[in-house]
A and B are shown apart, each in its own frame.
Chain A
Amino acid sequence: MFDLVMAKYNFWIYIVLMMIGFYAMIAKNNLIKKIVGINIFQTAIILFYISISFKRGATLPILTESDMHGHTTIEIAQYLNPLPHVLMLTAIVVMVATLGVALAIAILIYRKYHTLEEDEILKEAK
């Protein structure tokens, strides 16, 4: 039981983070709070992907001097998995682009309805 908890408790913390963001997305009434929830959700997903690239006892994915020029064979277990890092680098930049568009739409809604609360907007839009 203790081994299971020690091997898996990181995943449970990522799932709790994702649940916080998901709850803010569907249950909060304010539009800016919903955008904050989207941000937390995406960060939790990126954290999960980074965590599956982690290897115990490995170092950064940057080749050392002896591996770079020497004639030694490269030890695979010595370096972290670099592929999820690259994909999540792209995902972070796309996250900020969607954040900008979402905030622009929120500003437009405030200009038209003079409020950011969802129920007031729905009442006024009828």
Chain B
Amino acid sequence: MTIAFDIVLQVFILICAIAAITVRDLLSSVMILGAYSFFMCLMWAQMGAVDVAFTEASVSAGIGTILFIAALMKTTRRSRD
């Protein structure tokens, strides 16, 4: 496992997690959460858990983001925090 690639991935994941809960626009927050899921999936693929990685990429990053966007279309995308 390459240490440098590992550290770059972990920094990206931390930035995405902090951005997802601080952005005021809910649609942007959900999109950043999808990017977070894909970075997490890269990290699992690098750890050797390929089955978990492609399940995460299809189920959590794909269907989860679609569910979030469908819920936001039925409600509002504005928030106060």
A77 at interface by CB-CB < 8 Å: no
A51 at interface by CB-CB < 8 Å: yes
B22-64, CB under 8 A of A: which get 1 and which 0?
0000100110010011001001100111111001100110011
A95 at interface by CB-CB < 8 Å: yes
Counting chain B CB atoms within 10 Å of each CB, the highest count among A37, A46, A95, A116 belongs to: A116
- Please name 26 pairs of A and B residues whose Cβ atoms are closer than 8 Å in the assembled complex, sorted by A: A24-B21, A30-B26, A30-B79, A32-B26, A32-B68, A33-B26, A39-B64, A40-B36, A46-B52, A47-B40, A47-B43, A50-B44, A50-B49, A54-B47, A59-B48, A85-B51, A85-B52, A88-B49, A89-B52, A89-B55, A92-B59, A93-B59, A99-B64, A100-B67, A103-B67, A117-B79
Chain B residues packing against A (C-beta within 8 Å): 1, 10, 13-14, 17-18, 20-21, 26, 29-30, 33, 36-37, 40, 43-44, 47-52, 55-56, 59-60, 63-64, 67-68, 70-72, 74-76, 79-81
